[in-house]
């Protein structure tokens, strides 16, 4: 290989590296321009959003905000009151479903114990011992009427069985819900309360 050929080869390699260097430089320049313009676009968008937010805040009526705060506080207070309110319609609905038709109550008293749990005390009459046993089994199977104790059991002349019931209620039976408001009234063997106040 002559010196002239070697010089031409070196010149060709040098030119190739130079072209590659200029290409890389051009790409970096284009990328830098893209980053610059993208940053300007983001800054412009952020400024527009800040301006819109400031305008919205300026248009807020303090009286409206105060009314919303009062409404929220009232709703929170109402939710707390409803959560502590006892609605016994769920108990009556369950009682009607699981109580055998041959068992009826002559009196029924619902109350809340010292710990806040609901209790039921009542007296009634069952058609037979088997009917009373069936009622006890239904209470145990349902699980929402707990610790049911039948006491003062006595057999009447007609073969019916008188008894006294004491039990505790699952909290969900007395929890206030929208469905409890719409619950149908109980019309089966559970007697309805009547007022003893004299008529005018």
| Full pLDDT tens readout for the chain, 200 residues | 566 666 666 667 676 777 777 788 888 888 888 888 888 888 888 888 888 888 777 777 777 778 888 888 787 776 666 555 556 667 777 778 888 888 888 888 887 766 667 788 889 999 888 888 888 888 888 878 888 888 899 989 888 899 999 988 877 766 655 454 444 444 444 443 333 333 33
Helix, strand, coil content of the chain in percent (nearest 5)? 55, 20, 25
Question: What fold characterizes domain 89-181?
Answer: Gyrase A; domain 2 (3.30.1360)
Q: Where are the domains of the chain?
A: 89-181
- Distance, in Å, from the CA atom of 53 to the CA atom of 138, rounded to the nearest integer, reads 63
Nearest to 97 by CA among 189, 193, 167, 160: 189
């Amino acid at each position: 290989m002559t010196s002239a050929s070697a010089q031409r080869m070196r010149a060709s390699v040098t030119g190739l590296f130079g072209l590659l260097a200029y290409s890389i430089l051009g790409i970096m320049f284009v990328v830098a321009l893209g980053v610059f313009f993208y940053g300007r676009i983001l800054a412009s968008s952020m400024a527009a959003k800040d301006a819109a937010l400031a305008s919205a805040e300026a248009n807020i009526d303090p009286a409206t905000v105060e009314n919303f705060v009062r409404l929220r506080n009232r709703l929170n207070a109402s939710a707390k009151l409803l959560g502590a309110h006892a609605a016994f319609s769920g108990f009556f609905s369950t009682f009607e479903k699981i109580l055998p038709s041959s068992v009826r109550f002559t009196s029924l008293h619902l109350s809340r114990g010292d710990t806040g749990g609901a209790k039921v005390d009542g007296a009634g009459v069952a058609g037979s011992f088997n009917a009373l046993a069936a009622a006890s089994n239904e209470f145990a199977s349902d699980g929402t009427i707990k610790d049911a104790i039948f006491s003062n059991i006595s057999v009447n002349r007609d073969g019916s069985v008188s008894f006294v019931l004491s039990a505790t209620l699952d909290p969900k039976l007395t929890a206030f819900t929208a469905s409890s408001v719409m619950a149908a009234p109980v019309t089966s063997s559970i007697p309805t309360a009547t007022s003893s106040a004299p008529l005018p």
